[in-house]
Amino acid sequence: SELQSLTLDIRVMREDQDGAGGGEELNSLRRRVKTLKDQEKNLVEELQRIDKEGDKQQKFRERKAAHEEKKERFEAALRTDSKIRRVLGRDADLQALLDHNSLEREVGKHKHQREQEREQKEREARDAANKLEQIKSRIMVKTEHLVR
């Protein structure tokens, strides 16, 4: 390459510095070599930037494709599986919930509401069982009173 040839010329001129214009020509060649090295360095840096940008674009394309695939699978699942609709109700707009990133929050809210309803029914059942026990014990007391 040109850089190698100039480097060789510099070596030859160092050995042959007895000529009158040799010093000026040697300095000129040195400047040319430095310029070429700087250009080479700049080109290498530019190639690295281009490679880095290409990697970024490739990652973006991969992420976008993965997102599209995930979205398609989710939409297919929504069409075939109505569990989410049963939880949220038939009138829930699932796409709007997805767009606002609130699907998980809505499902959690409905889950919490069902849990509260279950706890309320457990309390009512426990209260009814206690009341039944009280009534049974009163009946037993009255029955014993009558038997005496």
What is the C-alpha to C-alpha distance for residues 74 and 69, in angstroms, rounded to an integer?
9
For residue 9, being part of any structural domain is answered with no
Angle 110-115-118 from CA coordinates, rounded to 5°? 125
Number of domains in the chain: 1
- pLDDT tens-digit profile of 73-122? 877 766 655 666 666 665 566 666 666 666 677 778 888 999 999 999 99
List the domain range (segments joined by +) for residue 97: 88-148
For residue 14, being part of any structural domain is answered with no
What is the C-alpha to C-alpha distance for residues 25 and 23, in angstroms, rounded to an integer?
5
For residue 19, being part of any structural domain is answered with no
pTM of the model: 0.37
What is the C-alpha to C-alpha distance for residues 121 and 52, in angstroms, rounded to an integer?
61
- pLDDT confidence of residue 42: 94
